[in-house]
Structure 1
Amino acid sequence: MPDHEQELRFGIFPTPEAARLDDLLGLVQLAEVEGLDLVSVQDHPYQAKFVDTWTLLSVLGARTSTLTLAPNVASLPLRPPVVLAKAAATLDLVTGGRVELGLGAGAFWDAIVAAGGPRRTPKEAVDALDEAVQLIKAYWAGGTVRFEGEHYRSVGLHAGPRPAHDIPVWLGAYKPRMLRLTGRLADGWVPSMGYADPPDLPEMSAAVDEAALAAGRSPASIRRVYNVFGRFGTGADFLQGRPHEWAEQLAELTLEVGTSTYVLGTDDPDAVRRWATEVAPAVRELVDAERGRRARGEAPSAEPTAAPEGVPARQALEVRATPAPDAPVAGDVPWDEADRPTHDEPVDASYAPELQAHAQHLVDIHDALRSELAQVRDLLDQVRRGRLTVGVARSAINTTTLRQNSWTLGAYCESYCRIVTGHHTLEDHSLFPHLRRTEPGLRPVLARLEHEHLVIHEVLEEFDRALVRLVTDDGTGPSGEDALDAVQHSVDRLTDTLLSHLAYEEQELIGPLARHGIA
């Protein structure tokens, strides 16, 4: 079976239980900060313990800025295709093109009927799904939709809005007719362990490929998404061993079957962290190495192998902290920088490359926040110069991660330490308790950083209030000028506060992170 050389992606598949929503929101936040690519949610409207999938995806879209969002998979018998197409297009617009649509023909028919849906035979279910995919794609194309099928019709509908990008359609498929439909119409195939285990995948994937070729499509245009479940341990079975063994097994699926997206079903933060920081990078490394060998015409390895476990090579600290600006903008930092506690970095310390990557991740996240703050300052400058209206500027500001996700300000630390906004906490699985245990001398620094998180949140709220006053006055007249001055002062204060804090955090945490890692 071929490797279709698709880009690898990794995501999670949390349980949408109403009783554990805080846990789910924290888990998704952790997934984003750890660098995962997507979050998908099962759709069972008749399940009393679960929240509504589309409402939940909308909340997740508002609270994240990088994760792709997908139902996995939407229950088509209870989701009219036109309504589903509009919901997906709307969420895609709101999130800036981060939606993919997983569709299922239906299961649990007694429950579907109890919820007011139709009872369909297997043939009817596949036929209805075929029609739904065509109708949904016609809707996204815009214009007047004219579609008449046995199960769905739409005659003269004025479709809109169009989504922000071409939304890929995944199909959950196992049986021959569904696999052929996937190859003919879909953009992704999404089987699940338990229904299709690894030994079953080659034959099923081949059926998708054959149908794609018969329809004049490239098999490589169909992404292979696999919902997986496992447990980190010492077992020999699939996804039952250590992270490097998981990586070897998944890399083999990619290279031999073409699977390129792996979605881990879990509600455990520790599993999410290991999935993102240990398994995903190792799979990418193994696959890239083997693809490189194949591209050079070298004989493929008998099987992909991971680097042996053991004590990693150690080297000097290469990650560097970003210093704070020499002069403050407003001169109104809400704390005394001189009384900050510090720690002494060991003179002869050496650092493993893998752990230095954790320290570099902190700097990368901070650089993104610095960049967005610079964009905010530029937008306000354009308003003052008359090149941009107040409404447009505030709209642009509100789309930045800094504003949109103010509840995760300092995203890296806020995912491993106590979430200072009070929205959610990961106290039992956090960075600061980890560093308190591994490096007790760092405790005064960590206490100060937690205090500064609280202060930064207050400064952000002040900035938000100033923005609200500005858009209310529309920036015109004397009151508008006053409102604009207030926003400028608040963003100057935020600049001084945030840049000071980020520099201090990097100065104190880069070394410990490069020695002890994140967990």
Structure 2
Amino acid sequence: MKTLFGFGLADDQLLSQAVQADREDLDLVTVSDHPYLHDRLDAYAALGLVLGRTDKITAAVNVTNLPSRPAPMLARTVTSLSKLSGGRVALGIGAGGLWREITKLGVEPLSPAQAVKALEEAITLIRALSGGGGPVTFDGEFYQVNDLIPATVPAPPIWTGSVGPKSLAVTGRVADGWIPGHASDWRSDLVSTSRPLIDEAAEKAGRDPRDIATIYNLTGHITTAPLPATRDASGRWRGGSVAQWVEELTSAVLEYGAAGFTYFPTADGTPATTSLSRWATEIAPAVREATRT
């Protein structure tokens, strides 16, 4: 399986960064989804514009705020974008976390257990409303459709931002990938305790856990000279030189099974275009070469 290399786009440089990432052969660009914040772009409006201005790169929302985007409409949105872009879409999706903000949109609050159940229903329904076939009737606790014709376009890969045990189990049962929360990496306690829950749920559902990708959101400095320590006292990745990044990410792929990385530059005075270029043209190709089988 090809290791994905992505870049997290900033609203104020959205198009220029996306075009650069496409030109420099990255696999993925992502945008965030915070529809309750007045100074943030709507994620799916931004995604459509990015896909229209690029040629090769896949785009995703990292991650979709499900409570504000009902599953039947979300299915129509992602399948439409997939058709218009030639399949260059992935669906990052989350159960919702900032409920105090989400309810400002007029959305009824859900308990954690309800939100997880709604997430599983949503993924199931989005798949049912993709890929053609006969009319779909779905009578769930949170979503209902009646004799709705599916889009002919297949569902995109679905990656969750699951954190708790129940939502991690949903990932194992029905999702294609997992984006660990809090920018946690392969050496973190969060990943070491969470990934087994995904794998266990996958096996119980008759799935191969290896088919569920782990795609990491990463921050960190890309420095011109090596750092004495690439991790801080708590063990969190800080960054380092290109060679240090390559060594660490190669280990993440070969030893920890990482399937991809989305890089978010750390504010350190380096222009984002420079960080993006070093990520795309120096780090990504070297890791791809080192992990090629």
TM-score by length of 2: 0.90
Aligned pairs (5 A) from 1:111-510 = 111-142=101-132, 143-159=134-150, 161-163=151-153, 165-194=154-183, 198-200=187-189, 201-233=191-223, 234=227, 235-237=229-231, 238-266=237-265, 268-288=272-292
CA distance in 1 between counterparts of 2:243 and 2:252 reads 14
**CA, structure 1 residues 191+134, in 2 after alignment: closer, same or farther (shift >3 Å)?**
same
User: What value does the CA root-mean-square deviation take over the aligned residues?
Assistant: 1.6
Aligned pairs (5 A) from 1:13-28 = 13-16=8-11, 20=12, 23-28=13-18
AA aligned opposite 1:224: T
After TM superposition, give the deviation of residue 198 of structure 1 in Å.
3.0
Q: What SS does the aligned partner of 1:77 have? A: helix
CA distance in 1 between counterparts of 2:37 and 2:274 reads 27
Larger radius of gyration between Structure 1 and Structure 2: 1
After TM superposition, give the deviation of residue 168 of structure 1 in Å.
0.9
CA distance in 1 between counterparts of 2:220 and 2:176 reads 26
Q: What SS does the aligned partner of 1:136 have? A: helix
Q: What SS does the aligned partner of 1:140 have? A: coil
Within the candidate set 1, 5, 19, 1:10 is matched to: 5
- Aligned partner of 2:60 in structure 1 is 70
CA distance in 2 between counterparts of 1:130 and 1:55 reads 25
Q: What SS does the aligned partner of 2:148 have? A: strand
Q: What SS does the aligned partner of 1:71 have? A: strand
Structure with larger RCO (C-alpha < 8 A, sep 6+): 2
Query: Are the aligned partners of 1:244 and 1:278 in contact in 2 as well (CA < 8 Å)?
Result: no
CA distance in 2 between counterparts of 1:197 and 1:62 reads 34
CA distance in 2 between counterparts of 1:8 and 1:257 reads 13
**CA, structure 1 residues 124+166, in 2 after alignment: closer, same or farther (shift >3 Å)?**
closer
Query: Are the aligned partners of 2:178 and 2:215 in contact in 1 as well (CA < 8 Å)?
Result: yes
Q: Which runs of 5+ in 1 are unaligned?
A: 1-5, 292-519
- Aligned partner of 2:268 in structure 1 is none
**CA, structure 1 residues 225+63, in 2 after alignment: closer, same or farther (shift >3 Å)?**
same
Q: What SS does the aligned partner of 2:142 have? A: coil
What is the CA deviation profile of residues 353-409 of structure 1, one whole-angstrom value per residue up to 9, with x for unaligned ones?
xxxxxxxxxxxxxxxxxxxxxxxxxxxxxxxxxxxxxxxxxxxxxxxxxxxxxxxxx
Instruction: Tell me which protein shows more strand as a share of its residues.
Output: 2
AA aligned opposite 2:287: V
After TM superposition, give the deviation of residue 15 of structure 1 in Å.
2.6
Q: What SS does the aligned partner of 1:265 have? A: strand
CA distance in 2 between counterparts of 1:122 and 1:257 reads 30
After TM superposition, give the deviation of residue 220 of structure 1 in Å.
1.8
Query: Are the aligned partners of 2:186 and 2:192 in contact in 1 as well (CA < 8 Å)?
Result: no
CA distance in 2 between counterparts of 1:196 and 1:175 reads 16
CA distance in 1 between counterparts of 2:155 and 2:147 reads 22
Query: Are the aligned partners of 1:239 and 1:246 in contact in 2 as well (CA < 8 Å)?
Result: no
Query: Are the aligned partners of 2:183 and 2:216 in contact in 1 as well (CA < 8 Å)?
Result: no
After TM superposition, give the deviation of residue 139 of structure 1 in Å.
0.7
Q: What SS does the aligned partner of 2:6 have? A: strand
Please list every run of at least 4 consecutive aligned residues from structure 1 whose deviation after the TM superposition is greater than 6 angstroms.
Answer: none
Within the candidate set 92, 96, 104, 1:102 is matched to: 92
**Total equivalences in the alignment:** 277
- Aligned partner of 1:48 in structure 2 is 38
Instruction: Tell me which protein shows more helix as a share of its residues.
Output: 1
Query: Are the aligned partners of 2:25 and 2:280 in contact in 1 as well (CA < 8 Å)?
Result: yes
CA distance in 2 between counterparts of 1:177 and 1:40 reads 26
Q: What SS does the aligned partner of 1:126 have? A: helix
CA distance in 2 between counterparts of 1:45 and 1:128 reads 19
Identity over the aligned pairs, expressed in percent?
A: 38
